[in-house]
Chains A and B, each alone.
Chain A
Amino acid sequence: MTQYMLSVFDAAGQEELPAETIEQIYADVDALNEEIMAAGAWVFGGGLHPADTATVVSVRDDETLVTDGPFAETKEHIGGFWIIEAPDLDAALEWAGKATHACRGPVEVRPFQDDPEA
């Protein structure tokens, strides 16, 4: 089994979704979470506050610096993620397909480095 991170991307400054759509998204994501858990593929997951709540910590000349985030200067930021366990990429992509439907946003799939069973 390999662990994959499924990240959902939000575009900053995109139009606010109507309240009923947001409610539907929450319901769909809850249902998907239950499905992932029932399948035994769940490792972790959650939604994040918007990127303007982020803080960046870094080191310069051995000194720890704290600055207002987000770190990456892009319009798209991670809005939430799952960590799942899957036998191969096709299985992970199947979950990602369900995730993108539930969240109404693109989902990036990346494998973790260490195979936990190796």
Chain B
Amino acid sequence: MAGPELVVVDRVFREESGKAVATLIRLFGDIDVAEEAVQDAFMVATERWPESGLPPNPAGWIVTTARNRAIDRLRRESSREDRHAQAMALQASEEPELHTEPVSDDRLRLIFTCCHPALEPAAQVALTLRLLGGLQTPEIARAFLVPEPTLAQRLVRAKRKIKAAKIPYRVPRDAELPARLGSVLAVVYLIYNEGYAASSGEELVRPDLCAEAIRLARLLGELMPDEPEAIGLLALLLLTESRHHARTNGDGSMVLLGDQDRSLWDRSLIEEGQALVKACLRRNRPGPYQVQAAIAAVHSDAASADDTDWSQILQLYDQLSALVSSPVVALNRAVAVAETRGVAEALDLLEDLDLDRYHLFHATRAELLGRIGRFEEADRAYEQALALTTNQAERLLLEEKRASQRQP
């Protein structure tokens, strides 16, 4: 009997647990204590709210309850001569009521701790989803197709390292900020990408991860409004997400951008994303996420694939290549070159790329070769792409393309 109050507890948990955990970590200086206390408080809420109704300020109620629970528990433990627990309980109980209010900085501090470069990238992702996203270990394990014990172990190890090595709980100083922010944005982008193009498995899209990444990107945008790259990332994710419903067919196979039914694109996400891109352009401090968002914005401006302003897209890819030298960027740039200057020039560019292990390199090559009638080479390229593709939806698309160009 999931009454309305229980649904509310679930919703409050999803929305508020990250904030509560971040505040409790500030109060107690310990991640495990904070997590356990917040879980406790939500358990109490599950029991109490259906009877007593919602408190006037559910989020504040959770933080206060969690704090009191943690102090009680630490006091009980400290009677067994644990000086550390004693000190934590004392410090938190002396904290004036004012400081137990959640402050937005808490979550910002926490995300910088979770995404500290001293932690392995997979642990950064898992910690961020768990502590800020309020996802449970089994959910994260499922989303990344990792056995649950492996993921649990990864979290334990990361939390132990944070404690032992004293990874700080604070927003980095200005001098360190660009590099450290880069690592935070990379984690959010990775979460989105794993949701968007699941690296393996049956479904192409795992919407939970996409939604979570967008929520985190919104949070960063809110908390760091003066960092254009944080805004750029949010814009990029919104514009990519706007095509969500057009990206797969009824049979679960993937639909490429040029073949998508644009009436399925989400106009409100596009408008929000485009407005953010424009705001970034006005600041004139371009970075890789902003330029990728601008590219997505140009695509979303076109009423049909044929209306796409490819010369503007090529210009943006030139700018992006100047900011990041990556073979994947060069591959995408080559697609824009094919549209503006012809397939032959694009194929020449592909010759120089060292992307033999990347399925989309072969898929792009196959597509371009097919367009100029070099079908045998195209067929071999499709074969290479398929050999490297583990996602079922992408495989279906590649097989379809390969079959259709065999009988042109």
- Interface of A toward B, CB cutoff 8 Å: 2, 4, 87-90, 92-93, 109-111, 113, 118
Pair A89/B84 contact, Cβ less than 8 Å: no
Please provide the chain B residues from 300 to 340 with a CB less than 8 Å away from any CB of chain A in the complex.
none
Complex Cα distance, B165 from A90, in Å, reads 9
Known A89-B166, A89-B167, A111-B164: A118·B84 in contact at CB below 8 Å? yes
Pair B84/A90 contact, Cβ less than 8 Å: no
Pair A111/B166 contact, Cβ less than 8 Å: yes
B118 within 8 A of A: yes
Known A89-B118, A90-B172, A93-B118: A111·B165 in contact at CB below 8 Å? yes
How near does chain B come to A99, taking the closest CB pair, in angstroms? 16
Q: Which residue of A lies closest to B163 (CB)?
A: A111
Known A90-B176, A93-B118: A2·B166 in contact at CB below 8 Å? yes
Complex Cα distance, B84 from A118, in Å, reads 8
Pair A88/B166 contact, Cβ less than 8 Å: yes
Q: CB-CB < 8 A to A111: which residues of B?
A: 164-166
Q: CB-CB < 8 A to B118: which residues of A?
A: 89, 93
**New contact pairs (4) apart from A89-B118, A111-B166, CB-CB < 8 Å:** A89-B167, A89-B168, A90-B168, A118-B84
Q: Which residue of A lies closest to B167 (CB)?
A: A89
Mostly helix, strand, loop or mixed at chain A's interface?
Answer: mixed
Interface size class of B (residues with CB under 8 A): 10 to 19
Q: CB-CB < 8 A to A109: which residues of B?
A: 165
How near does chain A come to B183, taking the closest CB pair, in angstroms? 13
Q: Total number of A-B contacts with CB less than 8 angstroms?
A: 27
Complex Cα distance, B84 from A19, in Å, reads 51
- Interface of B toward A, CB cutoff 8 Å: 83-84, 116, 118, 164-168, 172, 176
Closest A-B pairs by Cβ, 9 of them: A88-B168, A88-B166, A111-B165, A89-B165, A89-B167, A2-B166, A111-B164, A89-B166, A90-B168
A-B contact pairs, 12 of them (CB 8 A): A2-B165, A2-B166, A87-B166, A88-B167, A88-B168, A89-B165, A92-B165, A110-B165, A111-B166, A113-B164, A118-B83, A118-B84
How near does chain B come to A4, taking the closest CB pair, in angstroms? 8
Q: CB-CB < 8 A to B83: which residues of A?
A: 118
How near does chain A come to B115, taking the closest CB pair, in angstroms? 13
Q: CB-CB < 8 A to B167: which residues of A?
A: 88-90
Q: Which residue of A lies closest to B164 (CB)?
A: A111
How near does chain A come to B168, taking the closest CB pair, in angstroms? 4
Complex Cα distance, B83 from A113, in Å, reads 16
Q: CB-CB < 8 A to A113: which residues of B?
A: 164
How near does chain A come to B167, taking the closest CB pair, in angstroms? 5
Complex Cα distance, B168 from A118, in Å, reads 18
Q: Which residue of B lies closest to A93 (CB)?
A: B118
Complex Cα distance, B172 from A92, in Å, reads 14
Complex Cα distance, B84 from A93, in Å, reads 26
Complex Cα distance, B292 from A56, in Å, reads 57
Q: CB-CB < 8 A to B165: which residues of A?
A: 2, 4, 89, 92, 109-111
How near does chain A come to B335, taking the closest CB pair, in angstroms? 39
How near does chain B come to A2, taking the closest CB pair, in angstroms? 5
How near does chain B come to A85, taking the closest CB pair, in angstroms? 12
Complex Cα distance, B342 from A26, in Å, reads 58
Q: CB-CB < 8 A to B84: which residues of A?
A: 118
Q: Which residue of A lies closest to B173 (CB)?
A: A90
How near does chain B come to A89, taking the closest CB pair, in angstroms? 5
Complex Cα distance, B168 from A88, in Å, reads 6
Q: CB-CB < 8 A to B168: which residues of A?
A: 88-90
Q: CB-CB < 8 A to A4: which residues of B?
A: 165
Q: CB-CB < 8 A to A110: which residues of B?
A: 165
